[in-house]
A = this chain, B = another copy of it.
Amino acid sequence: MSANREMDHQEPQEQQDPRSDQDGQEKEQPRRRQARGERRIAQLLEAASDVFTTAGYTAASTNAIARAAGVSPGTLYQFFPNKEAIAIELGDRLMHELREMYGEALAPVDPATPLEEAVNSAVDRFIAFNCAHPAFFSLMHGPDIPGRLAEEHDALHASLLARTEVLLSSLLPDAAPADLARTAHMCLGVYKAGLELVLAHEGAERDAYVQELKHLLVRYLDPLVGDRPGAAGAPRTGR
C-alpha cells in the first residue's frame, strides 16, 4: 500500500530557448527557412503522423520518424527542438483544421432542426475528419501524450462539451445543469467508442457502424426530447 510518490526519472534536459530576449516578442524563431526546409518539415510531419498512428506517441522513436521520412536524426532535430514539438506541431495543425470544420458542425443550434438531422450531421463531419486523420485520435487519446498536447486536448474536449451542452439545453430547456453535463459527457464518450469501432472497420461495414452510432445517439437523446414540437418524428422506424 505504501504510496510511493517520488519516481526516479527526469527529462533529459529542460532546454531554455536561448533566443528569448525580453522584448515582448516571444514569437517564433527568426530562423530563415528555405523551400527545401519547408518540404522537409512537411515530410517529417507526414512520417510522424504514420509512426504515431501505428505505434503511439511514446513507442514512436525519433529515429524511426527520421528514417520513415528518409532523413537522418540530426536533420530531424534541425527543424524540431525535441520529440514533443513534433507531436505538438502535428496536433496543432490537425486541431486547427478540426476547429475550422466543427465550428459549423455544432454551432447551428437551430431549435427547429430535428434531433436526428442534427446528430447525423455532427457525426458525419467528425467521423469524416477522424477517418481522414487517424493520427489525431492516437495523439489525443493515447495514454502517454506529453503535457502540452494533453492541455490542448482538454481544451478541445471542454469546448466540445460546452457546445454539446448548449445544443442539448436548447433541446431540453427544463433540465438540471448537472444532468445536462452528464448527458453531454455521455454523448462524447459514446462518440469516441463508436469512432473506435468505425476506425476498426472499412467499407460497407464501416458505414454500417456509422449508422449504428447515429441510431445509438438518437435513441439515447430521443426520449429526453420526446415532447418537443418538430423533433422526435419517425416514431420508432422498425429499420
Contact = CB atoms under 8 A, between A and B. Distances in A.
Contacts of A226: 236, 238-239
Interface stretch (A15-23, A63-71, A86-94, A150-158): A63-71
A223 B219 contact: yes
B219 A220 contact: yes
Residues of A contacting B: mostly: helix
B197 A189 contact: yes
Given A1-B46, A143-B143, A220 B216 contact: yes
Contacts of A29: none
A216 B67 contact: no
Interface stretch (A112-120, A121-129, A178-186): A178-186
A224 B238 CA distance: 7
B223 A239 contact: yes
Given A56-B144, A64-B8, A220-B216, A209 B182 contact: yes
Contacts of A190: 190, 193, 216
A2 interface: yes
Interface of A: 1-4, 7-9, 46, 50, 56, 58-59, 61, 63-64, 67-68, 70, 138, 142-144, 178, 182-183, 185-186, 189-190, 192-194, 196-197, 205, 208-209, 212-213, 215-216, 219-220, 222-224, 226-227, 235-239
